[in-house]
Amino acid sequence: MTSDDGPAPVPQPRTLEDHVAPALVSGDAFFRAPYHPATWRAYAALGVGWIWHLTAGLTLWILVLVSAGVVPALGVGLPLLAVCLVAARWFGAAERARIAIQTGVTIPAPYPVPVARSLWSRLWAPIRDSRAWAATLYAFLAMFVSIAFFTIATALAAAAIAAVAFVAVGRSSALAEWSGLSWPATVVGALAGAVVLVWAASALAQYGSYLMVRLATILLGPSAADVAHARAAAAEQETRVAEAAAHTARERAVVLTESRTAAVSAADTERRRIERDLHDGAQQRLVALGVELGVARRLADKDPEHAVAALELAHREIKETLAELRDLVRGIHPAVLSDRGLDAALSALAGRSPVPVRVEVVGDLAPAGSAAQAAAYFVVAEALTNVAKHAGADSVWVRASLVPDDHPLRLRVAVCDDGRGGAEPSPGSGLEGLRGRVAALDGTFELDSPPGKGTRLTVEVPCAS
Amino acid sequence: MRIVIAEDSVLLLDGLTRLLAAEGHTVTGHGTADSLVRALSTSDAELPDLLVTDVRMPPSHTDEGLRAAVHLRSLHPDLPVLVLSQYVEQSYATELFARGARGLGYVLKDRVADVDEFLDAVARVSGGGTVVDPEVVTQIIARHPGSDLDVLTRREREVLELMAEGRSNAAIADRLVVGLAAVEKHVTNILNKLGLPPAPDDHRRVLAVLRWLDQNGSR
């Protein structure tokens, strides 16, 4: 058996005393005790209680004692004891339910006995169940509490009624004469006695009910060890949740740091590319153009024929330089994208691709916003360049759509080709640059390129809200 | 004159070749920095009269040409080299002139379009002179704290800039439209004021002036 002297779990906001026996803790409630609802509840609880305890409770603890007594005759005693202790738990459950209904005090159920596997452990489990023994002890103790308090309180109340009755009808009775007091003094004494008796009965009823509930709380609720265990488990769970949250936050921080680094390096790579393109392209062409014009000027007088040839060369170079500048500018940011949106820009990309491209745009992409559209455009541009360079494909399929039912909104582009596959983002490659760019936008990058089966690149970028 | 060109832009190489051919020179070879270093590194290699090299070239597109020029000059100190650079920054020029200035030129690539000046630079460098691009000189002087150049008169400063470009007294006189004697007087004054010893030839003078500007310049 366990002795539970730890704090009993009382879920009510008020204390048990306030609720079950207010007359004992509050002067006002004591003054109103005879007609206080707690008094009537206490009477009812004790009244039903003593009958229940004297029948079911008495039967239970006598059976437990008897079966425990015959345990030495192992074959009979043990199973009987086990059955009785299982019944003790049922009794406890019924008692908790009765107390909840009659006094409004909810006592939490004790933790269930773990389900055992073997027959032997199944037999032993109820016997080792300390809460079943506690319920048996409750059946024994509560019986005396409920009988004693109900009897005394009822007797006191009956005595009060008798005193009042005596005042009403006892003027010429032998009792009045025997007391030897004058009639008025007898009346005052009897009435005063009745008042004291009524208050005493009420307070005793409340106290009895309180004792019964308190006993139930200690013996029928979860044991202190169980409560401590549950608290520890809850705390552990809380720690686990907090740790998981911290871990997620750390991972997120790592991802963000990585994507920020990728963004910086993508921007740097981009600037280098533009510088190189300008340097090795337009600038070289312009220098060469200067040379041609210089030659033409020097030859103008002595060799007009060669001078004209140089001028023609210069003219052709100017046109090529312009075309190159146009490509370069488009590579920095295509005007059609800002003017006409992603749909038109993708069509323009498709038109320039040496491999036939089919473009499919699902719905209106305008809600995606310009940053996401630009990202999608460059993904497709880079992917198409890769397809033309490496894939050896006959056709390409480009699809752009908003991801349905996704909050926040995401823009998805997919580029599929029927080329040789086997593409992978190696360091310094266009695909790696793309991945950095997409990561910088907190997007997802998915490359599926089995050798010989074409390449499918799917990118999703979140849209600015 | 036999000229070798290191230039990776086919267009420009083509233009330069025809320009130099029209002036009566022969372009005897061309290639990238690597191939030139390989061809000219051996001691018995037949050296051209002038090597014209770009700075930015494959494979890394940074300063291959400059490194090739410095390397070849250390092997053949008398090989005239004219470096065409995209970089106005002084550090590249300083690297090139670290071991002497005779028969060395560092001009901005854009200068090539100014055909007369380019041909002038070709002639001066192949003749053992020194050419430093005016823009590089301007930048070096611009970085200079004004105070220590305040000792110079305005005309002396002009002369200093032309000296730094590697021009001879006669060329300076020509450029400023003054007499040779006047230029010689300015030069003596400048060298005195800056505390530089009188230098017998132009390229040593350039080096002295550039070093003085470099050491006294702000970084």
A263-281: pLDDT as tens digits: 888 788 888 888 888 887 8
As given in the structure block, the two tokens for residue A418 are: 């029927």
Q: Best mutation site among A295, A316, A319, A320 for testing chain B: the one with the most B CBs within 10 Å?
A: A295
**Complex prediction ipTM:** 0.77
* CA dist A8 → A103, A134, B152 (Å): 17, 14, 100
Q: Domains in chain A and their CATH numbers?
A: 16-222 (no CATH), 257-331 (1.20.5.1930), 339-462 (3.30.565.10)
Report the share of chain B in percent with pLDDT over 70.
96
Question: pLDDT-based confidence at B34, cuts 50/70/90?
Answer: confident
Query: Looking at the complex, does the CB of residue A299 fall below 8 Å from at least one CB of chain B?
Result: yes
Chain B residues within an 8 Å CB radius of A284 = 9, 11-12
B177 has a pLDDT exceeding 50: yes
Q: How many residues does chain B have?
A: 219
- Residue found under tokens 């340097």: A279
* Other beta carbons less than 10 A from residue A190's beta carbon: 22
Query: Looking at the complex, does the CB of residue A201 fall below 8 Å from at least one CB of chain B?
Result: no
pLDDT at B218 (0 to 100) = 54
As given in the structure block, the two tokens for residue B190 are: 């400048």
Inter-residue contact B11 to A317 (CB < 8 Å) = yes
Mean per-residue pLDDT for B113-136?
A: 90
What does pLDDT average to in each consecutive run of 10 residues of chain A (465 residues)? Answer: 48 69 82 85 90 91 87 75 88 92 87 75 81 90 93 92 84 72 82 90 91 90 84 92 94 87 82 82 86 87 88 90 86 83 89 90 86 88 88 91 82 92 78 81 88 91 78
Q: For residues B189 and B65, give the distance between their C-alpha atoms in angstroms, rounded to a whole number.
A: 38
Mean per-residue pLDDT for B12-34?
A: 87
What single letter denotes the amino acid at residue B145?
P
Cβ of B9 within 8 Å of Cβ of A289? The answer is no
Query: Looking at the complex, does the CB of residue A279 fall below 8 Å from at least one CB of chain B?
Result: yes
Mean per-residue pLDDT for B42-48?
A: 81
Q: Which of A245, A339, A328 is nearest to A280 (CA)?
A: A328
Q: Which of A363, A342, A463 is nearest to A407 (CA)?
A: A463
- Cβ burial, residue A423 (10 Å; 0-12/13-18/19+): buried
pLDDT at A7 (0 to 100) = 52
Domain B143-216's class?
mainly alpha
Mean per-residue pLDDT for B83-106?
A: 84
Q: Best mutation site among B16, B18, B56 for testing chain A: the one with the most A CBs within 10 Å?
A: B18
Mean per-residue pLDDT for B80-105?
A: 85
Inter-residue contact B83 to B65 (CB < 8 Å) = yes
Cα B49 to the chain's mean position, in Å?
16
Give domain limits for chain B: 2-132, 143-216
CATH 3.40.50.2300 fits B2-132, yes or no: yes
Provide the 3-class DSSP secondary structure of residue A41. Answer: helix
Cβ of A283 within 8 Å of Cβ of B86? The answer is yes
Query: Looking at the complex, does the CB of residue A366 fall below 8 Å from at least one CB of chain B?
Result: no
Cβ of B22 within 8 Å of Cβ of A288? The answer is no
How does the average pLDDT of chain B come out, rounded?
85
Q: For A416, phi and psi rounded to 5 degrees?
A: -120, 140
pLDDT at A248 (0 to 100) = 93
Residue pairs spanning A and B at CB distance below 8 A: 56
